[in-house]
Amino acid sequence: MKTKRIHSGAPFACIGLTALLYAAVVGLGSWSSYAGIVILAFLLYAPLKRYFPDRFLVIETPPHTGNVSCDQLIIESRETLKDIYLLRVSIQRDSLTEKIDLIEQMARKILDILAQQPSMQGQLRTFLRYYLPTTLRLLRVRAEILHKSRKPNQTAQQTLQRIDGALRMIEDACERQLDALDQFQYLSIETEMDVLDDMLRRDGLMDEAGKKGAHAK
More confident residue, 2 or 62: 62
- Regarding whether 31 and 89 lie in a shared domain, the answer is no
- Regarding whether 100 and 14 lie in a shared domain, the answer is no
- Regarding whether 109 and 160 lie in a shared domain, the answer is yes
Residues 6+ apart with CB under 8 A from 62: 71, 75
Largest CA distance in the chain: 80
Domain count, the chain: 2
Nearest one of 42, 43, 49 to 7, comparing CA atoms: 49
CA distance 117 to 91: 34
- Regarding whether 71 and 43 lie in a shared domain, the answer is no
115: domain range?
A: 66-215
Q: Which of 11, 28, 51 is the endpoint of a domain? A: 51
Q: Within a domain: residue 60?
A: no
- Regarding whether 88 and 139 lie in a shared domain, the answer is yes
The lowest-confidence range among 75-84, 179-188, 192-201 is 179-188
- Regarding whether 79 and 153 lie in a shared domain, the answer is yes
CA distance 112 to 199: 30
- Regarding whether 161 and 108 lie in a shared domain, the answer is yes
- Regarding whether 193 and 93 lie in a shared domain, the answer is yes
pLDDT tens for 17-26 read: 988 888 888 8
CA distance 47 to 94: 25
Residues 6+ apart with CB under 8 A from 119: none
Tell how far CA 144 is from the center of its chain. Answer: 20
Three-state secondary structure call for residue 214: helix
Q: Within a domain: residue 33?
A: yes
- Regarding whether 119 and 71 lie in a shared domain, the answer is yes
- Regarding whether 86 and 171 lie in a shared domain, the answer is yes
pLDDT tens for 55-114 read: 766 666 778 888 899 999 999 999 999 899 888 877 766 668 888 889 999 999 999 889
- Regarding whether 204 and 124 lie in a shared domain, the answer is yes
- Regarding whether 38 and 83 lie in a shared domain, the answer is no
Q: Within a domain: residue 26?
A: yes
Identity of the amino acid at 195: V
pLDDT tens for 138-155 read: 999 888 887 777 677 888
**Strand partners of residue 55:** 6
CA distance 24 to 7: 29
